[in-house]
Amino acid sequence: MQIPDSKSLPVNLLAACFNNTVATYKYYWFLSVIQEIEKGNFVIQKRNLFARMISNAWYTVNYFHVSFGKQDLIQEAVHFIKESEKITIDEEKEKVFQKIISSKNKQTEKQIWHFNKNVPHWFLSPWFPKTNQWDVYRKSKSFDNECLYALDRDEIEINPRWKYYLIANAGILKDFCYWNLALFLQSRNPNVPDIPNKLIKSAKRKKLEDQKKYFWNPVISELGNLHCIYTGDEITVGNYDLEHFIPHSFVSHNLIWNLIPANRSFNRTKLDKLPPLDKYFKAFYELQKSAVEIIRVKTPKNKYLEDYLTILPDYTQSFTESRFRETIQPLITIASNNGFEFLHESIQ
């Protein structure tokens, strides 16, 4: 994906800002600049931009546990501010932003102002190559080389020459940031699925009523005697939740091979915990295998059977325990390595 062209502006230098990127800073910085411009702000407080950087990364770090790499301190700042400001992991982005900029906590201030050491002036380095920090500040004030913004101690001022371009192309420029941020994070999380959908909080989680109605209700009715693999409680049609065996916050999908009926109260406590496979995999597999066999007979054209093709292209012939485990085990391991915790006995 490319930055929109311009006949009068050095957009090649704007594109060059993202060359040789070793951290997420530049993506979150420019994304935050565009968000402030969309609000009509062209003289922008750095504090607001640093707070937006944190709030933009909030859900990716806290809910999806995507790794930013050891050199990237946004992830560390997000974790620190979550604890120091007592902000929930699923708080709305704008509320996170407001809580950060209204905070009187000196440690929170220290966390966000850390990014002032490098980000604002290094972003302008394509306009001022091989120039030290103080020269960038000085030269930017006169908008030398048609640089994007002027730097001051506490704020930046958007170059008037760039205003129309940034406003007119705001949507594309944000997409550019998200696209390249996704590529950057995917390279550091090669085994984590669906990185692009982990950059922002989805508007609303889709309900699973169709999966119940057209897949699991017929299975439960056919089996007649089904128990929750976690609690042993009886499962009946109309009295269960569909539970993501591997947490939704890791896989970010509702494919049927990862959904099983579970006790409602248990499902509300499991949240994004990982099930220990030694304890639960066999029961999970047997329930899935029975479900596939029943649905293939009752409704052979059931669209949810296609979900199994994403992990077992020949599931009709070889839906074996070993093949199924070969798919599930690596996902559990990767999720654990990314910070997802396992179920404790106290909530099982």
Question: Tokens 């999970």 sit at which residue?
Answer: 284
Domain range spanning residue 285? Answer: 209-347
- Residue 204 resides in a domain: no
**How far is residue 348's CA from residue 185's CA, in Å, rounded to a whole number?**
34
> Do the Cβ atoms of 241 and 267 come closer than 8 Å?
yes
The reply to whether 252 and 164 lie within a common domain is: no
Span between the terminal Cα atoms of the chain, in Å? 46
What are the helix (H) ranges across the chain? 11-16, 25-38, 46-62, 74-84, 93-101, 106-113, 119-122, 133-140, 160-168, 170-188, 209-211, 217-223, 248-251, 264-270, 277-298, 315-318, 321-337
pLDDT at 200: 83
The reply to whether 169 and 242 lie within a common domain is: no
- Residue 158 resides in a domain: yes
What is the reported pTM?
Answer: 0.74
> Do the Cβ atoms of 233 and 99 come closer than 8 Å?
no
- Residue 1 resides in a domain: no
**How far is residue 293's CA from residue 288's CA, in Å, rounded to a whole number?**
9
The reply to whether 92 and 41 lie within a common domain is: yes
Two structure tokens written together for 35: 């968000």
**How far is residue 320's CA from residue 305's CA, in Å, rounded to a whole number?**
16
The reply to whether 21 and 160 lie within a common domain is: yes
- Residue 87 resides in a domain: yes
**How far is residue 124's CA from residue 300's CA, in Å, rounded to a whole number?**
59
pLDDT at 346: 47
The reply to whether 188 and 246 lie within a common domain is: no
Q: Is the dihedral of CA 194, 199, 201, 202 positive or negative?
A: negative
Write the DSSP string, 139-153.
Answer: HHTTTGGG-SEEE-S
- Per-residue DSSP letter, 313: T
The residue among 198, 226, 251 that closes a domain is 198
Q: Block means of pLDDT (10 residues each) for the chain, length 348 residues?
A: 90 92 93 95 96 95 87 91 91 93 93 94 94 93 94 96 95 94 91 86 77 95 92 92 91 90 91 92 95 93 91 79 89 85 68
The reply to whether 187 and 220 lie within a common domain is: no
The reply to whether 69 and 151 lie within a common domain is: yes
The reply to whether 154 and 248 lie within a common domain is: no
> Do the Cβ atoms of 295 and 218 come closer than 8 Å?
yes
The reply to whether 282 and 185 lie within a common domain is: no
pLDDT at 204: 62
The reply to whether 124 and 214 lie within a common domain is: no
Among 61, 65, 76, 70, which Cα is nearest to 339's? 65
Residues in a beta bridge with 243? 260
What are the helix (H) ranges across 22-101? 25-38, 46-62, 74-84, 93-101
- Mention every residue, 6+ apart, whose C-beta is less than 8 A from residue 306: none
The residue among 198, 222, 239 that closes a domain is 198
Q: In Å, how far are 160, 180, 224 from 126, measured between CA atoms? A: 19, 18, 68
The reply to whether 142 and 234 lie within a common domain is: no
- Residue 2 resides in a domain: no
Q: How many domains does one find in the chain? A: 2
- Residue 79 resides in a domain: yes
> Based on C-alpha coordinates, what's the Rg of the chain?
25
Helix 25-38 to helix 170-188 angle (10° resolution) is 160
- Residue 203 resides in a domain: no
The reply to whether 158 and 230 lie within a common domain is: no
